[in-house]
Amino acid sequence: MSIPVESFYLKPAIPGTLQQQIRQMITDGVLSGRFRAGERLPSSRALALHLSISRITVTLAYADLMSSDYLTSKGRSGYFVSFSAPVHLDVTTPKRQRNKGLNYDHLTQRRYSQAPAIARPTDWQAYPYSFIYGQPDASLFDHQNWRHCAIRALGKRDFDSLTSDYYQRDDPLLIEYILRNILPRRGIDARADEVLLTMGAQNALWLSAQLLLSRQNDGARRHAAVENPCYPGFRRILDQMDCTISAVDVDSFGLPPQDIPTQVDVVITTASHHCPTNATMPLSRREALLKSANDQDFVIIEDDYEFEMSFFKPASPSLKSLDGDGRVIYVGSFSKSIFPGLRMGYIVAPESFIREARALRATVLGHPPGHVQRTAAYFLSLGHYDAMINRMKSAFKRRRQVMDDAIAAEGLSVAGQGGFGGSSIWMQAPEGVDTEVLATRLRQDGVLIEPGQGFFDAARGSFVPQNCYRLAYSSIAIGKIAPGIALIAAALR
């Protein structure tokens, strides 16, 4: 590897002769680790030309650096960073830099990094019994066909989709597939200008919240009601906004409409499959919720996650499918069902809402990359998506049965499980158990569980049970389930 000549600048602030400056640039590069042993330096001629200085100045600096063992020369092939060059220790470099200059904690008010999140070790794959949610399962992902579709999407014929700005419209192939094949399964009939692609469901929820819950032009705060417990990523969005938040406790049928405070502007719900309890809202309650929305004039954001994983019986239709008035903003996602790193979701809403969401998306991030859109369009329309979902469903169904058996055999208590399927079970440890402590202890046995506290709304004084936890079976091998559950049961005894 060669060090590019563009790495060198004469900085006016550095004192000393030109020769000393060159020496310092190179020693700085070596000591900071930017220039590495064996890398070739620019020729003295090229560097002299680049810096508009005399070549002899560079040659003298290089000779000096050779005598102090920073550089070596290999005859006519040039100058290289020496393998025995001094190396700064990593421990000291960061310390020096961390202490210098402005600290942004005050300026940014640390308002984003302090949000609570579900703890998840980055090396989760190293744990044999990993009951954590939403991670990819390499054995189920259709890697070969995804790659095949990506190669096709990168072909000459698709050059436009690769390089176009997608501000004004998303990939028409992908939107068409969503309209004609995905949404009808959820009972939703929509037009192209009623759908917007987003960077995963998180981005869809964020955009919707910005549009509906920012302070009004007259300065009035808006009011959101959110399920308790709920998906922590959504509460994080609300906590960072300047709006009033009410947490509404769910029961075993999800969100009770009669408990929604009057005067709310927006209600957020995972009606078809509550996160994390897996409750499904019955039809009568959905109708009551929509009636409340009409009577009290609020809008509903429906996060319709994981409907694809319906292996026991068909998923109940979405809340949006019952919505005759455009009061439901529907959020869907492919990130979980294809793979998490994909970051692809969508919003379905009336055109007047989508227009604003599209404009806001352009300001915040531009648009989702075009070639990812096209790759997904091929993966879906060639039928690979449906085939993969089927494979996932049968794997999850088998795992779920083993989960249910092991949980029953060990006498653990289930607090909520999806009637149609899903990928996790909401559990309850005996009274007095703190599942944060339990999770830490189980890590030592190679078992990962998700403590439940993070799903509850601690900030607004709601009761936070200490003994709930979630067990997901989305990325655990079937043979690991029973021994993993046994380890949990042993830890609880």
- Give the residue with the Cβ less far from a second copy, 75 or 220: 220
Work out whether 351 is an interface residue with a second copy (CB under 8 A): yes
Cβ neighbour number for residue 482 with a 10 Å cutoff = 17
Work out whether 159 is an interface residue with a second copy (CB under 8 A): yes
Contact region for a second copy (CB under 8 A) — 60-68, 97-105, 249-257, 463-471?
97-105
Range list of H helices, 298-431? 351-365, 370-381, 384-410
Give me the residue label for tokens 């402005």: 102
Torsion sign across C-alpha atoms 281, 284, 290, 294:
negative
- Give the residue with the Cβ less far from a second copy, 355 or 441: 355
Contact region for a second copy (CB under 8 A) — 6-14, 78-86, 398-406, 411-419?
6-14
Rounded least distance, CB 485 to a second copy, Å: 25
> Are 198 and 402 in contact, with CB atoms under 8 Å apart?
no
- Give the residue with the Cβ less far from a second copy, 215 or 441: 215
Sole binder of a second copy in the list 75, 363, 444, 493 (CB under 8 A) = 363
**Position 293: which residue type?**
A
Sole binder of a second copy in the list 56, 314, 409, 443 (CB under 8 A) = 314
- Give the residue with the Cβ less far from a second copy, 13 or 89: 13
Mark 201-240 with x for binding to a second copy (rule: CB under 8 A) and - for no binding.
-xx--x----xx-xxxx---------------x--xx--x
Residue 300, φ and ψ in degrees, nearest 5 = -110, 130
Work out whether 150 is an interface residue with a second copy (CB under 8 A): yes
Of 450, 455, 441, 452, the C-alpha closest to 474 is 450
Work out whether 493 is an interface residue with a second copy (CB under 8 A): no
Work out whether 317 is an interface residue with a second copy (CB under 8 A): yes
Of 474, 425, 396, 392, the C-alpha closest to 279 is 425
Residue 33, φ and ψ in degrees, nearest 5 = 90, 0
Q: Which of residues 279-298 bind a second copy (CB under 8 A)?
A: 283, 287
Mark 419-458 with x for binding to a second copy (rule: CB under 8 A) and - for no binding.
----------------------------------------
Work out whether 119 is an interface residue with a second copy (CB under 8 A): no
Sole binder of a second copy in the list 37, 56, 115, 437 (CB under 8 A) = 115
Rounded least distance, CB 279 to a second copy, Å: 20
Cβ neighbour number for residue 96 with a 10 Å cutoff = 9
Work out whether 23 is an interface residue with a second copy (CB under 8 A): no
CA angle, residues 41, 43, 47, in degrees to nearest 5: 90
CA 381 to CA 375: how far, in whole Å? 10
Work out whether 50 is an interface residue with a second copy (CB under 8 A): yes
Work out whether 410 is an interface residue with a second copy (CB under 8 A): no
**Position 213: which residue type?**
L
- Give the residue with the Cβ less far from a second copy, 78 or 350: 350
Give me the residue label for tokens 């609300």: 238
Work out whether 253 is an interface residue with a second copy (CB under 8 A): no
Question: Which two structure tokens, joined as six digits, stand for 430?
Answer: 């005996």
In the chain, % helix, strand, coil (3-state, to 5) comes to 45, 15, 40
